[in-house]
Amino acid sequence: MDIFHGNDAQAFKLAMAYAYRFQLLLTLAARRLSKRPCLLQIEDIDVPMILAFLEHIEETRGNKARSRNARLAAVKSFFRDLEYRAPPVLDQALRVHAIPMKKIDEALVTSLSRTEVQALLNASDLRTLSGVRDQAICILAFAGGLRVSELVGSALDHFHGRLPASIHIVGKGRRERVPPLRQETAAAIRAWIAVRPKDGDTALFLNNAGRMMTRSGFKYILEKHAAAAVSVAPTLAKKSISPHVLRHYPPRPTMSGS
């Protein structure tokens, strides 16, 4: 499989995860067929065996649907590779690919009211450098619907302040886009750039050490301001506020901030 050709740490971890999934499958197949694993043939890993494996990891190992689907995806990927290397297994591969994934019930994303959003934004102390930064990055997160990686990965020169203001985003899969920014959002970013340390990293948003903000750093900022905003919007105390919540905030409000 192509994934095993990588030589960096991430590729190695992914390869080990695939190897573990096949270890589970081959262990079960060897036991059910009373064979040593080294004597197993591709024909032994047929649809009934794979279905028995999926049932085993759910009922015996307690795996949830998401883990079950990940293990099935690994098996399908293996057979997809075999299609090009061992044409005689094409029919078997076709039947394996027909095994359906299990539907996963996705948890509902916490919803925020306009009052709660405004309370969270206003929790930043604009008398401080960090407060100006925090309000700018939070407003951009709400108004732009950006992923955390897109927020913290934005460079200073990615912001185009001239009207109509916009920001150059490099998203998932290196896909680029340039969404326009509302006046209030652009104003908050300009206010931050005006006080932003000039000798720091090239990132738009810097941490207190002058380096690019991390995902965990943004998460900390968000949780800190959410806790402070509870005094104005008590309903926030019952909600789990995460970067994912900001990205999926449906209405893009007028972000004035005070």
Are residue 147 and residue 210 in the same domain, yes or no? Answer: yes
Are residue 90 and residue 24 in the same domain, yes or no? Answer: yes
In a domain, 23, yes or no: yes
In a domain, 161, yes or no: yes
Are residue 243 and residue 139 in the same domain, yes or no? Answer: yes
- Mind spelling out the 3-state secondary structure of the chain? CHHHHCCCHHHHHHHHHHHHHHHHHHHHHHHHHCCCHHHCCHHHCCHHHHHHHHHHHHHCCCCCHHHHHHHHHHHHHHHHHHHHHCHHHHHHHHHHHCCCCCCCCCCCCCCCCHHHHHHHHHCCCCCCHHHHHHHHHHHHHHHHCCCHHHHHCCEHHHEECCCCCEECEECHHHCEECCECCHHHHHHHHHHHHHCCCCCCCECCECCCCCECCHHHHHHHHHHHHHHHCCCCHHHHHCCCCHHHHHCCCCCCCCCCC
Domain end (from 97, 125, 153): 97
In a domain, 258, yes or no: no
Are residue 221 and residue 125 in the same domain, yes or no? Answer: yes
Q: Are 241 and 223 in contact (CB under 8 A)?
A: yes
In a domain, 29, yes or no: yes
Percent of the chain with pLDDT over 70: 88
Q: What is the pLDDT of residues 179-237, one digit of tens each?
A: 888 899 999 999 999 999 988 789 999 999 899 999 899 999 989 999 999 999 998 88
In a domain, 255, yes or no: no
User: Model confidence at 108, in pLDDT bands (50, 70, 90)?
Assistant: very low
Q: What is the pLDDT of residues 2-38, one digit of tens each?
A: 444 444 666 777 788 888 888 999 999 999 999 999 9
Are residue 146 and residue 56 in the same domain, yes or no? Answer: no
Domain end (from 41, 68, 97): 97
Q: What is the pLDDT of residues 47-82, one digit of tens each?
A: 999 999 999 999 888 888 888 999 999 999 999 988
pLDDT at 251: 47
Are residue 20 and residue 142 in the same domain, yes or no? Answer: no
Closest to 81 (Cα-Cα) out of 153, 5, 163, 25: 5
Are residue 70 and residue 133 in the same domain, yes or no? Answer: no
Instruction: List active site positions.
Output: 147, 172, 244, 247
Are residue 200 and residue 146 in the same domain, yes or no? Answer: yes
pLDDT at 249: 62
In a domain, 166, yes or no: yes
**0.75 exceeded by the pTM?**
no
Are residue 85 and residue 125 in the same domain, yes or no? Answer: no
Residue 221, Cβ density class (10 Å: 0-12 exposed, 13-18 middle, ≥19 buried): buried
Query: How far apart are alpha carbons 64 and 50 in whole angstroms?
Result: 16
Number of domains making up the chain: 2
Kindly report the CATH number assigned to the domain that includes residue 134: 1.10.443.10
Are residue 92 and residue 125 in the same domain, yes or no? Answer: no
Are residue 124 and residue 235 in the same domain, yes or no? Answer: yes
Domain range for 56: 2-97
